[in-house]
Amino acid sequence: MHRSSYDTEPAYGDGSAYAGPPLPGRRRRLVIAVAASLAALVVTAVGVDRFAAGHAESRTARAFQDGMDTPNRPSVHVSGFPVLTQLASGTLRHVDITAHDIPAHGSARPLPITRLTIGVDDLKASGDAGEARARAVDATAFLSYGDLSDALGLRLSQDSEPGRVRAAVDLPLGGEVTVSAAVSAVSGNRISFTDFHAADGALSGPAQALLGSIFADPIPLRNIPDGLRLRSLTPTASGVDAHFTGRTVTFRPDSPNA
């Protein structure tokens, strides 16, 4: 029987028949399957990257604790995604570190740092073991009035005037005088107290002499990473915030400033 060309199914050179486009239901299932596979890959990649970030944070915290001799590990957060590519390049783009109770060794009037918060840009390991360098660092050291009072041997608190603190001083022959003093940053990462005046009335000769001996030498801040410079001091209700900045800052286990 003769068949019209219209009755034949389209054929290709290999003899296979054209099956036509997938049915709508099959197409939806295919899209869902592909999307699920991609989502699984993304979740896996994020999980692997988060594991790498956690490992980098743990190593950084351990190195900082060893270098700064803190009683507890600091908290460390590595920013940016993916972290794996940063580790592969040898440079972490940004790292935030918060440490507590940094001791001050090698000082006649040791002043520990109550809390140190550091923002580090472009942190990379150097050629020396245990040493790392950063392109730029912005840090704030919080110095509690309790620690400041212990270092100076008197009682400090916030003054009503900005940039000043109050000091309660026991006089040699008995009694007490309360004075206001300006707080400023001087070279060598040191804290200076100047411009004294009594809270009530004038300072007596013995009080002036005592204050001169207590505040004659600025207090150095020890255990600060190399390259950080003290820029400003801001008295607050509970202590003094010391602001540092620096470029090409070195973190090493035995800092010369320690």
The residue segments making up the domain with residue 229 are 18-258
Q: Tell me, yes or no, whether 7 lies in a domain.
A: no
Q: Tell me, yes or no, whether 5 lies in a domain.
A: no
Q: Tell me, yes or no, whether 9 lies in a domain.
A: no
Tally of structural domains, the chain? 1
Cβ density class 164-188: b for 16+ within 10 Å, e for less: bbbbebeeeeeeebebbbbbbbeee
Model confidence at 84: pLDDT above 70 = yes
Q: Tell me, yes or no, whether 66 lies in a domain.
A: yes
Q: Tell me, yes or no, whether 167 lies in a domain.
A: yes
The model carries a pTM of 0.73
Average pLDDT over residues 76-90: 81
Model confidence at 244: pLDDT above 80 = yes
Q: Tell me, yes or no, whether 224 lies in a domain.
A: yes
Q: What is the per-residue pLDDT across 124-148, written as a single tens digit (0 to 9) for each?
A: 865 555 677 889 999 999 999 999 9
Q: Tell me, yes or no, whether 158 lies in a domain.
A: yes
Q: Could you tell me how many residues make up the chain?
A: 258
Strands 132-144, 113-125: parallel, antiparallel or unpaired by DSSP?
A: antiparallel
Q: Tell me, yes or no, whether 90 lies in a domain.
A: yes
Which carries the bigger pLDDT value, residue 182 or residue 107?
182
Q: Which residue intervals of 75-218 are DSSP H helices?
A: 83-89, 145-152, 205-214
Distance CA 258, CA 254 (A): 7
| CA-to-CA separations, 120 to 59, 96, 152, 203, 236, in angstroms, rounded | 15, 6, 32, 45, 25
User: Which structure tokens are listed for 14?
Assistant: 């290999």
pLDDT band at 43 (very low <50, low <70, confident <90, very high): very low
